[in-house]
Amino acid sequence: MFLDEAKIYVRSGDGGNGAVAFRREKYVPKGGPAGGNGGKGGSVVLIADRNINTLLSFKYKKKYLAGNGNPGANSLKDGKDGNSVFIKVPVGTIVKDADTHEILADLDEDSKEIVLLAGGKGGKGNSNFATSTNQAPRFAEDGKPGKEKNIILELKLLADVGLVGYPNAGKSTFISAVSAAKPKVADYPFTTLVPNLGIVKYSDFDSFVVADIPGIIEGASKGKGLGLRFLKHIERTKVLLILIDVTDEHYQDTFEVIRNELNEYADLYSEKSVVVSFTKLDLLSEPEQQKARTRKLSGYKGEIYFISSVTGSEVKKLLDALWQLVIR
């Protein structure tokens, strides 16, 4: 199961109180102050982990509490620090304040970590307050309280190429053909209900990541269909590959709807490198294929590709073009 947004409660630990204590040693009737410091409260730390690809675990656990620091003790013994809580999230997770929606962190690299909430500082024991005029202070400092926050974790997949197109445009078949990803493939709309990532091995030493995004329809940028929920996953991609079914007689209209929806959402079409390819070439006869290759798309100036993911026809040519844009 794929989950790309979760709301959780986090709290760092309180600092331990400082101690009021005095030395009690044999033959030392009036020992000096000996109260230890309180321990520091545990922090809340978020870590990006490339081995995690969903926020599903946060569906079942909603609260993450760090440990409190222990109070100081006599004989100048400091309290033990509270245990920090380490929360692992997928690479590409954005952390937002649930109340203000302010972006607090962007964990866009593997092993990147941030201290979201620092633990409360431990209070000083009375040994820290002795002076020449007050050699036996009978007070200590309280520990500082921890901090709490409701946060939203929002996953935006990291990929080099994002596949976009109408439902049933052949996106799942394409990613299955060029990578080890095995998304569900069928001849009905919205087969893909969650984004799929595939690693395309381009050469012996080179590869790039492709994201198969659920089908876009008109109105997707305003929440229609599945588009709004998943359009965010192509915000980080470097290249957009628009796939259009070659049997679509209204291909120009289809292209314009996709282009408009991408721009309505976040100017995605205008700001990224874009490649257009017609798919399912194997469904046409040879004369029909030749006629299809003469197609032009108003509003698109790049080369148009014609592929069959089933037979592999011209897929390598398309991958060559994508690779050149990925490394640019």
Give me the residue spans of the domains in the chain.
Answer: 5-155, 161-326
| % of the chain beyond a pLDDT of 90 | 61
Inter-axis angle of helices 171-178 and 315-326, nearest 10 = 80
Confidence of residue 24 (pLDDT cuts 50, 70, 90): confident
Q: How many CB atoms lie within 10 A of CB 200?
A: 21
Ordered DSSP codes for 143-200: PPP--EEEEEEEE----SEEEE-STTSSHHHHHHHHSS------SSTT---S-EEEEE
In the three-class reduction of DSSP (H, G, I as helix; E, B as strand; rest coil), residue 102 is classed as: coil
Name the strands in the sheet holding 85-90, side by side, starting at the edge strand that comes first in the sequence. 85-90, 44-49, 113-117
pLDDT of residue 199: 85
Rounded distance between C-alpha atoms, residue 97 and residue 89, angstroms: 16
pLDDT digits (tens, 9 = 90+) for 166-186: 888 898 899 989 987 664 444
pLDDT of residue 223: 45
pLDDT of residue 227: 46
The answer, yes or no, to whether residue 297 has pLDDT greater than 70, is: yes
Q: What is the pTM of this model?
A: 0.71
pLDDT of residue 192: 45
Confidence of residue 236 (pLDDT cuts 50, 70, 90): confident
User: Please, what CATH class does the domain formed by 161-326 belong to?
Assistant: alpha beta
pLDDT of residue 188: 42
pLDDT of residue 43: 98
Phi, psi at residue 169, to the nearest 5°? -85, -5
pLDDT digits (tens, 9 = 90+) for 67-76: 999 999 999 9
Q: Which residue has the higher pLDDT, 43 or 211?
A: 43
pLDDT of residue 251: 96
State mean pLDDT over 107-115: 95
Same fold yes or no, 5-155 and 161-326: no
Instruction: Tell me if the domain spanning 5-155 has CATH number 3.40.50.620.
Output: no
pLDDT of residue 2: 59
